[in-house]
Amino acid sequence: MYTKFAYYCPTTLNEFFTVREDMGEDGIIYAGGTDLLVLLRKKIMKPSAVIDIKKLKECTGIFQDGTMLSIGACCSFYEIAGDPLVQKFAPALAKAANDVGSTPIRFKATLGGNIMNASPAGDGLNAVYGLGGSALLMSRERERIVPLDEFILGPRKTALREGELLARILVPTDRFNKQIFFKVGRRNALAISVVNGLVALNETDGVVEDCRIVLGAVAPRPIRIPSAEEYLKGQVLAGELLKDVPEMVSETVTPISDLRASAKYRSYIAGIETRRALEALKGGQA
């Protein structure tokens, strides 16, 4: 049923790089496997080896690193959703993590895998993108930090260079004081997002100083809504202000029609849900 492949499970970063170099393009990196195993079973991918990175300590654990929240690429969505640091500093990411798949999937699927898969519908990906997060890449020679805006190039395409490993995901903790994540799907669980979004604000004395709106599954990559962001800066979120937001959203997004939803519906619901998210933040939800 599956093509023949070897399984490697390096326990040190050095061992990982050696195996990776030996295998070249024939070896694929394997974390949770919830996306990969489906592709392997369908023989869409036919590697000669999978390299399990879950034992690399550089890819595990969640901790504060200065003003950044540092999340290991191999952290499961279950771990992320329940982590006290994530709940405190990135509650919208905790919510997104809990929206992924189902309980058994969340025990296994990883944030790193979600980001490397680079599906525009990725819940973890869009939450981190919306919070201004970055990828921490490790190679034999150096570490490199790349904001997700620059790292995600298109569906299944990232700016990962040869010899690099996505080891950690960094999320700023001091940039926004209000944040919310929403997901629209065809059912309450085991649903790939029809539209998802993260809205983050930095409000001082009720005035929006910084605003970031990122929507998923409505373009080939996560997409920001600069017109709405600029519109809201310097304003107090109140009453009539939000009624023009849905149109700004619909004019910016470029969704496709597929088996889950039509482009027209995605465009429409993205606008409505963005406005609803802002209304919820208006109510004081951080």
Partner 1 sequence: MSVSFVLNGKPVVSEASENTTLLEVLREEFRLTGVKKGCEAGECGACTVLVDGCNMNSCMMLIGETEGKNITTIEGLSADGKLDPVQKAFAEKAAVQCGYCTPGMILAVKGLLNRNPDPDRNELRAGLDGNLCRCTGYEQIFEAVEYYLEWRERNE
Separation of alpha carbons 208 and 201, rounded Å: 7
45 binds partner 1 (CB under 8 A): no
Letter string b/e over residues 89-103, b meaning 16 or more CB atoms within 10 A of that residue's CB: bbbbbbbbbbbbbee
Residue 18 CB, nearest approach to partner 1 (Å):
18
Q: Any contact of residue 23 with partner 1 (CB under 8 A)?
A: no
Tell me: does residue 63 bind partner 1 (CB under 8 A): no
User: CB of residue 32 vs partner 1: minimum separation in angstroms?
Assistant: 8
Q: Can residue 3 be called a binding residue for partner 1 (CB under 8 A)? A: yes
Of 46 and 88, which CB lies nearer to partner 1 in the complex structure?
A: 46
Token pair, residue 260, equals 């889950």
- What are the φ/ψ torsions at residue 195 (nearest 5 degrees)? -150, 140
Closest separation between CB of residue 245 and partner 1, Å? Answer: 31
Q: Nearest distance from residue 73's CB to partner 1, in Å?
A: 16
Q: What are phi and psi of 237, to 5 degrees?
A: -70, 100
Considering only 104-112, 141-149, 225-233, 237-245, which stretch makes contact with partner 1 by CB under 8 A?
A: 104-112
Residues in contact with partner 1, counted by CB under 8 A, come to a total of 29
Pick between residue 187 and residue 243 the one whose CB is nearest to partner 1. Answer: 187
For the stretch 94-99, contacts whose Cβ atoms lie closer than 8 Å and that sit 24 or more positions apart, written own/partner, are: 95/127, 95/180, 95/181, 96/123, 96/124, 96/126, 96/127, 96/181, 96/183, 96/196, 96/198, 97/123, 97/124, 97/127, 99/123, 99/181, 99/183, 99/196
Report the residue from 145, 190, 207, 256 that binds partner 1 according to the rule CB under 8 A. 190
Q: Per CB under 8 A, does 44 bind partner 1?
A: no
Residues 218 and 210: their CA atoms lie apart, in Å, by 23
Please report how close the Cβ of residue 262 comes to partner 1 at its closest, in angstroms.
Answer: 23
Instruction: Find the binder of partner 1 among 16, 27, 28, 34 (CB under 8 A).
Output: 34
Q: Which of residues 204-223 bind partner 1 (CB under 8 A)?
A: none
Using the rule CB under 8 A, is 104 a contact of partner 1? yes
Structure-derived torsion over alpha carbons of residues 209, 213, 214, 219, reported in degrees to the nearest 10: -130
Q: Is 226 in the site for partner 1 (CB under 8 A)?
A: no
Q: Does 105 contact partner 1 by CB under 8 A?
A: yes
Cβ atoms within 10 Å of 274's Cβ, excluding its own: 26
Return the DSSP state at 224: E
Report how far residue 203's alpha carbon sits from residue 217's, in angstroms, rounded to the nearest whole number.
Answer: 28
Nearer to partner 1, 104 or 226 (CB): 104
With H, G, I as helix, E, B as strand and everything else as coil, classify residue 151.
helix
In the block, residue with structure tokens 């991918």: 45
Residue 6 interacts with partner 1 (CB under 8 A): yes or no: yes
Identify the residue among 52, 149, 210, 244 touching partner 1 (CB under 8 A): 52
Give me the residues that bind partner 1 (CB under 8 A), please.
Answer: 1-7, 9, 30, 32-34, 37-38, 40-41, 50, 52, 54, 101-105, 107-108, 188-190
